A and B are shown apart, each in its own frame.
Chain A
Amino acid sequence: MDMERLKGPLFAAADAVAFLLTRPAGWAILGGVLSLGFTLRVASAFKERSLACEAAGRRLGPGQALGLLLRELYGSLSSAVAVLPTVAVVLVGSVLLVGVSDSVRRLDEIAGNRARISELSAVVRNLERRYRVADARILSADGRTARLSLAFYDSRTPGKPVRTQEVSIEGSEVFVDALVLDFAYSEIEAGRRVNLVLPYRVYGDLQAPADGQELALLDEEGVPLLYRRGEAEVYGLDPGRYDERLEELMDLLADDEARRKAGIVRTVFGAAVRRKVRAGDSFTIWSEQTGGLAIKGESGF
């Protein structure tokens, strides 16, 4: 039996019963129906008695009318007492009907809540997610200069770096600089987008960023190598479509107005993480899906 088809009539009947038994308006309607029934019964009795009196050439007197009214009242009460067990059964049935209906509704609500919890949990997971951007390993540092090895990661293949590069900086602090494109929270929450982080230069605290070392991470079309992938899909697209989508994103980066119109990008800015360098040290740079970059251990804090 299709339960869904039964729900409509079941809920309607239960709502009607609940309304009649629990609301003043319902009581008024029930009272009205009973009063109407009693009035019709009395009227019918009066009519019959009047006809009988008329046939006998008499008029129905007030005393007779009162007696008739009392008799009908007594008769109605007697009938009511006689059907009390039936009324009780109907009442119990009504309560059961309302109970079953409410339980079915609650079960529906439970299913809806379960779906909502699952959806919200996914949103929390998507917001709490972070992606490894790069691992930095300090090869040498003497306080004035430092040499580092950087391993860059693609968010789709976090297990192994897609490229490594050695860089030198001047100073005792390293700045790994990136272009950050943070998508609207609605996109992140739904898991449709991953904030893009495109590392593009490294510098030290003793050198101006413009004098830092550029990271060769763009191809001849200006598309970041990290995101130029052939075989799989980042956004549920085939490889060809993915490349188109990627170029579209790069166009968005280049065109502020288009970015605003697209409405999917929360903000685009440059972000660097900074760390003091000591030979042998290593650290990992993460892209937080709530926004921005951070340096954290594997498990965070």
Chain B
Amino acid sequence: MAVVLSLALVFLGVTVLTALQKAEIARLEKSIQSLKDEIVLIRFMVLERDKGMVKARVRLYDLAGAEVDLLEMTWPGTELSFDFSVVPAAGRYLAFPRRIFTDRLAPSSGTNLYPRYDRGGFPAVFEGADFGRFGRKRLAELFEALKEDREPSGSFGSVVHDIARIAAFEPGIVYKVVLRPKGGIEILED
């Protein structure tokens, strides 16, 4: 009887331990997945490069993936740069598309993107997620600060671009600009 009882206790112990281990494995797998999450901020396609000018079509998206704005423009230069203001918030990062410039166009002379998604003071690129009333107010305040060129604490600018000699954006191919959970921004072929 004692043997059976001991065996039952051992069995119960290892069952509980395996259940705990499985929960830990699930948590780690979720962490790994969330570390690889991406939020698509922009999709763009270079339409033409000619005579020192680059023409591109750029689409801005909100957090639900809905298109917020479409922009088709020609800029002087060959390398296209997308500038974002990255602001830390609640352990994650928010990316506000700021402007587009090129290798031949100074950032200060680039195309300002803020007005393109300013909907009554709220940054429309953050639609599509439930921030709550306080969260939306805070987002609007952050946006206001950025528009006034004030840097929220911990924020920084992040620019991604092609490099003509090594990795140029190919005309006709759609690229996406994505935000990673640790605040990094990448360009990937879509």
Contacts and interface: CB of A to CB of B under 8 A. Distances in A.
B89 to A, nearest CB: 9
B38 to A, nearest CB: 8
Contact of B79 (A95, A206, A209, A253): A209
B24 interface: yes
A55 to B, nearest CB: 55
* Interface SS, A side: mixed
Contact of B7 (A100, A130, A205, A290): A100
B145 interface: no
Contacts of B178: 291
Interface in A151-189: 171, 173, 175, 177, 179-180, 182, 185, 189
A292 B35 contact: no
Interface in A249-296: 253-254, 256, 266-276, 283, 288, 290-296
Contacts of B185: 271, 291-293
Interface residues of B, number: 58
Contact of B184 (A120, A206, A293): A293
Contacts of B187: 267, 269
Nearest to B98: A274
Contacts, number: 183
Interface string B22-38: 10110011011001100
A109 B18 contact: yes
A117 interface: yes
Contacts of A116: 25
A245 interface: no
B118 interface: no
B2 interface: no
A105 B7 CA distance: 13
Interface residues of A, number: 61
Interface stretch (B42-50, B99-107, B125-133, B136-144): B99-107
Interface of B: 3-4, 7-8, 10-11, 14-15, 17-18, 21-22, 24-25, 28-29, 31-32, 35-36, 77, 79, 81, 83, 86, 88, 91, 101-108, 151, 154, 156-163, 166-167, 178, 180-189
A92 B4 contact: yes
B88 to A, nearest CB: 4
A114 to B, nearest CB: 7
B161 to A, nearest CB: 4
Interface of A: 92, 95-96, 99-100, 102-103, 106-107, 109-110, 113-114, 116-117, 120-121, 123-124, 127-128, 130, 171, 173, 175, 177, 179-180, 182, 185, 189, 205-210, 253-254, 256, 266-276, 283, 288, 290-296, 301
A208 B157 contact: no
A262 B5 CA distance: 58
Nearest to B22: A113
Given A208-B105, A292-B186, A296-B183, 15 more contacts: A103-B10, A127-B35, A128-B182, A175-B157, A179-B163, A205-B106, A253-B167, A270-B79, A276-B151, A288-B182, A288-B184, A291-B178, A294-B156, A294-B183, A301-B154
A274 B158 contact: yes
Contacts of A120: 25, 28-29, 32
Contact of B32 (A124, A206, A288): A124
Contacts of B14: 103, 106-107, 109-110
A269 B106 contact: no
Contacts of B162: 269-270
B8 A99 contact: yes
A290 B182 contact: yes
Given A106-B14, A127-B36, A294 B167 contact: no
Given A100-B7, A106-B11, A270-B79, A114 B182 contact: no
Contacts of A207: 106
Contacts of A95: 4
Contacts of A128: 35, 182
28 contacts: A103-B14, A113-B22, A116-B25, A120-B32, A124-B28, A171-B107, A206-B108, A208-B101, A209-B79, A254-B166, A256-B167, A268-B166, A268-B167, A269-B160, A269-B187, A272-B161, A273-B157, A274-B159, A288-B183, A288-B184, A290-B180, A291-B182, A291-B186, A292-B180, A292-B182, A292-B183, A292-B184, A296-B183
